[in-house]
């Protein structure tokens, strides 16, 4: 997992700013190379980097300012790899997921940076103190996971169902949105953080999750292979399917593609799906969104996402 932050929005210096709304422009809306936009934090000129390795982003024309390099606004909880709850680092969630194996947590075993991370997990209410009289009973130490803490740990291990993950992610997204909104009236970087997060979140919430049935013939004589493709798009699905058929032409002899499910607003679940079912991945060249489920297609699990409604705090984003 990477802790690198990429600036995905630039500020149009020619547009009027009323002090509450910034004229932000996505990197996807400009051509690659030097732009007329400036950094929302330091107002330095920006260069659009739109290559094939890193995600598209803006780079400073000169030294990158500290504010954009460490921005907390460019990450969506449980979506971007660097995203966490307010007050937590990505490494804290990795500690919760991989280091704390059981409910038997003993605060005294952690030192230095691990102790600092442990304390932040307690502050975030993912770990809680066990009352003195109950410690060491039934093998319980000084602390244990909270209910939400167990969910985060299971999400990190890809053990949550898709619908449970959807609910957990929505709650985390809304908590961060409320936190940044509360700080925004302070102005300065707090206002920029809130506006950037809101723009990034709005873009993500417009993405639909799609699930396709794909049959390919690798050669003219080969037996057909049944696959599924997961992805997200903000465009009409027919338009995306046309692109996919053309793309498959580079890696197989013949392919048929049919739409199984399209779930508006659920594109944010795509990365968790790919992690959860990574062992079923079917690689074709650089393509990573194809899976071979045989007789165990997760389409029913995907359909349960329809029953998970948006919480009130996100309905207006």
- CATH number for position 108: 1.10.10.10
**pLDDT tens digits, residue range 77-120?**
898 766 677 788 878 887 888 766 566 677 877 889 889 998 99
Say if residue 292 is in the same domain as residue 236. Answer: yes
Which pLDDT tens digit goes with each residue over 199-220? 999 999 999 999 999 999 988 8
CB 63 within 8 Å of CB 46: no
- Neighbouring C-alpha atoms within 13 Å toward the C-beta of 280: 20
Could you say which of 132, 157, 182 is where a domain stops? 157
Q: Could you report the per-residue pLDDT of 224-238, keeping only the tens digit for each?
A: 999 999 999 999 999
- For residue 188, tell me if it sits in a domain: no
- Total number of domains in the chain: 3
Query: Cβ distance 214 to 228 under 8 Å?
Result: yes
**Residue 201 in domain:** no
Distances (CA, A) of 101 to 3, 146, 259, 277: 23, 14, 40, 22
Q: Dump pLDDT digits (tens) for 174-195.
A: 999 999 999 999 988 999 999 9
Residue 273 located in a structural domain = yes
3-class secondary-structure state, position 233:
strand
- 8 A C-beta contact, residue 68 and residue 39: yes
What's the whole-model pTM score?
A: 0.86
Q: Distance between alpha carbon 131 and the CA centroid of its chain, in Å?
A: 36
| Enclosing H/E stretch for 18 | none
Q: Same domain, yes or no, for 289 and 219?
A: yes
Q: d(Cα 107, Cα 113) in Å, to the nearest integer?
A: 13
Q: Picking from 13-22, 116-125, 241-250, 255-264, which range would have the lowest pLDDT averaged per residue? A: 13-22
Of the three residues 21, 43, 71, the one that is the final residue of a domain is 71
Q: Which domain holds residue 2?
A: 1-71
54 and 133 assigned to the same domain: no
105, part of any domain = yes
Asked if residue 202 belongs to a domain, the reply is no
């Amino acid at each position: 997992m990477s802790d690198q932050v990429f600036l995905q929005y630039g500020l149009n210096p020619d547009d009027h700013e009323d002090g509450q709304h910034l004229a932000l422009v996505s990197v996807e809306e400009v051509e690659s190379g030097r732009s007329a936009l400036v950094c929302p934090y330091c107002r330095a000129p920006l260069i659009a980097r739109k290559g094939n390795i890193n995600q598209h982003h803006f780079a400073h024309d000169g030294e990158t300012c500290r504010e954009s390099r460490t921005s907390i606004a460019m990450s969506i909880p449980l979506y971007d790899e660097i995203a966490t709850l307010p007050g937590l680092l990505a490494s804290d969630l990795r500690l919760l997921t991989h280091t704390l194996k059981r409910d038997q947590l003993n605060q005294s075993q952690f030192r230095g940076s691990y102790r600092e991370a442990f304390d932040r997990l307690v502050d975030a209410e993912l770990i809680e103190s066990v009352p003195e009289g109950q410690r060491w009973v039934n093998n319980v130490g000084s602390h244990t996971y909270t209910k939400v803490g167990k969910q985060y740990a299971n999400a990190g291990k890809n053990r949550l169902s898709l619908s449970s993950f959807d609910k957990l992610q929505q709650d985390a997204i809304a908590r961060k949105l409320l936190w940044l909104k509360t700080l925004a009236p302070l102005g300065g970087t707090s206002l920029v953080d809130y506006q950037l997060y809101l723009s990034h979140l709005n873009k993500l919430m417009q993405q639909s999750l799609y699930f396709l049935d794909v049959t390919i013939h690798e050669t003219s004589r080969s037996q057909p292979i049944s696959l599924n493709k997961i992805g997200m798009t903000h465009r009409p699905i027919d338009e995306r399917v046309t692109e996919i058929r053309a793309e498959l032409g580079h890696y197989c002899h013949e392919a048929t593609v049919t739409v199984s499910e399209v779930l508006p607003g659920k594109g944010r679940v795509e990365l968790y799906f790919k992690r959860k079912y990574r062992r079923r991945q079917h690689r074709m060249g650089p393509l990573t969104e194809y899976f071979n489920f045989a007789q165990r297609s997760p389409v029913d699990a995907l359909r349960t996402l329809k029953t998970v409604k948006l919480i009130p705090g996100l309905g207006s984003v």
